[in-house]
Amino acid sequence: MATALYRLIKYGFQTFWRQRLLTVATMVVILLALLVFQGLIISGVVGTTALNAIQDKIDISVYFKLNTPEDEILRIKRELEGAEEVKAVEYVSRDDAYERFQARHSDDETITQALEELEENPLSASLNIKAKNPEEYASVASFLESIVSDELVENITYNQNQAVIDRLGAIIRVSRQVGVLIAVFLTVVAVLVSFNTILLGIYSNRDEIAIMRLVGASNLYIRGPFVVMGIIYGVITSLLSVLLTVPIIFLSSPYVGLFIPEMDLAGYYMDHLLALISYQLAFGVGVGIISSFIAIRRYLKT
């Protein structure tokens, strides 16, 4: 068995090297398919981060009247935290609000002076509520209205921004769905193109396969070298794909950071380098092996 395996690997490398033109042509197509595949993974991550960043900026704030007791606000906070749709609730006390306001307007002398002239803190305490899903803000808002009496509330921002929040929610949902559809479509295209290229390569070897059969080669000896070649294609193209992508990632990372501050593209790429190589190896080697099996099947009948 070890001898047979050694021979299969030897034939695989031999054919790979001796049919260089065919090999290079096949690998270029697989490489392009892998670049598309890798691009899909990376743009998926960038897109998701961007959508999450937008989603994170949506919230509902409830501003309480100045005389609302803190205990009452904390009770409402606890109730909200118990609700299924709610992801997080942040309590901003009147003092916190004052400090934040001061910090935000520290450069504006007029506002700083006006604040100092006031004897009492004019700002309300508030709760900032984030929903798990941007489309659940309507139900969070109605739940909120059901547990908070109108006498305590100064203002609920959802009522002012309802149209924008709903539209953003819909945009995020559709963007995710379209993203998945495009990813699936392009992956299928990449797989089919790679498949066809390998199939054509094997088709051009059909006479050799017939000769091998006539000489008494078993299916293992005929399939084996093509499978080995499929593995070589996968390994070389996935490494090339990573080598070609690294400079592009490092060059584009600062620009991506400008648009999506939450995204460190270069950091993500290096952290996930092994996983990305593994995905591409699985793609390249998988396509190589499966297409070799399918293509040769028809030539092994006689």
Partner 1 sequence: MINFQNVSKQYKHSDPALSDVTFKINPKEFVSIVGRSGAGKSTLVKLLIAEEKPSKGRVIFGHYDVGKMKSTELPKLRRHIGVVFQDFRLLPTKSAYENIAFALEVAGRKHNEIDDLVCEVLDLVGLSGKGENFPNELSGGEKQRIAIARAMVNRPDVIVADEPTGNLDPMNTLEVVNLLTQINELGTTVILATHNQEVVNQLSKRVIVLENGRIVRDEEGGRYSLT
Label residues 95-117 b or e (16+ Cβ within 10 Å = b): eebeeeeeeeeeeeeeeeeeeee
Q: How far is the CB of 290 from partner 1 (least distance, A)?
A: 21
Nearest to 149 by CA among 58, 41, 68: 68
> Per-residue contact track with partner 1, 196 to 235, x per CB under 8 A?
-----------xx-xxxxxxxxxx-x--------------
Q: Which is nearer to partner 1, 20 or 57 (CB)?
A: 20
Q: Which is nearer to partner 1, 16 or 64 (CB)?
A: 16
Q: How far is the CB of 291 from partner 1 (least distance, A)?
A: 20
By the rule CB under 8 A, 9 interacts with partner 1? no
CB atoms within 10 A of CB 267: 12
Q: Which is nearer to partner 1, 11 or 268 (CB)?
A: 11
Tokens of 197: 């290229």
Q: How far is the CB of 4 from partner 1 (least distance, A)?
A: 7
Q: Are 287 and 30 in contact (CB under 8 A)?
A: yes
Choose the binding region for partner 1 from 14-22, 35-43, 124-132, 181-189 (rule: CB under 8 A).
Answer: 14-22
Tokens of 185: 């479509």
Phi, psi of 153 (to 5 degrees): -95, 135
Neighbour order of strands in the sheet with 60-64: 86-92, 126-131, 60-64, 153-156
Q: Which is nearer to partner 1, 22 or 249 (CB)?
A: 22
By the rule CB under 8 A, 294 interacts with partner 1? no
Contacting partner 1 (CB under 8 A), which of 9, 13, 19, 153? 19
Contacting partner 1 (CB under 8 A), which of 2, 18, 71, 163? 18
Strands (E), 32-172: 60-64, 86-92, 126-131, 153-156
Q: How far is the CB of 18 from partner 1 (least distance, A)?
A: 4
Nearest to 100 by CA among 126, 65, 62: 126
Q: Please tell me the chain's helix, strand, coil percentages from 3-state DSSP, rounded to the nearest 5.
A: 80, 5, 15
By the rule CB under 8 A, 176 interacts with partner 1? no
Q: Which is nearer to partner 1, 166 or 208 (CB)?
A: 208
Interface residue list for partner 1 (CB under 8 A): 3-4, 7, 14-15, 18-19, 207-208, 210-219, 221, 300-302
